[in-house]
Amino acid sequence: MHDDPDGDRIRQIQQEKKEKAQIMREYGADEETITADIWSRPDAECQGTCGDYLTWEEQNSGLDMCMDCKLDSMD
């Protein structure tokens, strides 16, 4: 069997998403909000300071940061 660093990273991101979803549930978020904020996003983390995940639009545009972090970095 060979090492799969990308696979390991994807599993780590999935685990982080599960933990974030659980925290959102504990704070009263409904499943629709959790789906929109976590599960409907690609497994690509923002390289800015927000600690969130990119949207499909941001990822498909080739961005490595969400628009909010991108704007903050320009200030």
Please state whether the predicted TM-score (pTM) of the whole model is above 0.85.
no
Look at residue 74 and tell me whether its pLDDT is greater than 90. Answer: no
Q: Which of 50, 39, 42 is nearest to 17 (CA)?
A: 39
User: 30-67: per-residue pLDDT in tens?
Assistant: 999 999 888 988 888 889 988 888 989 988 988 889 88
Local confidence band at 28 (pLDDT 50, 70, 90 cut-offs): very high
Mean pLDDT of 11-32: 93
Produce one character per residue of 35-55: b if its CB has 16 or more CB atoms within 10 Å, e if not. Answer: eebbeebeeebbebeeebbbb
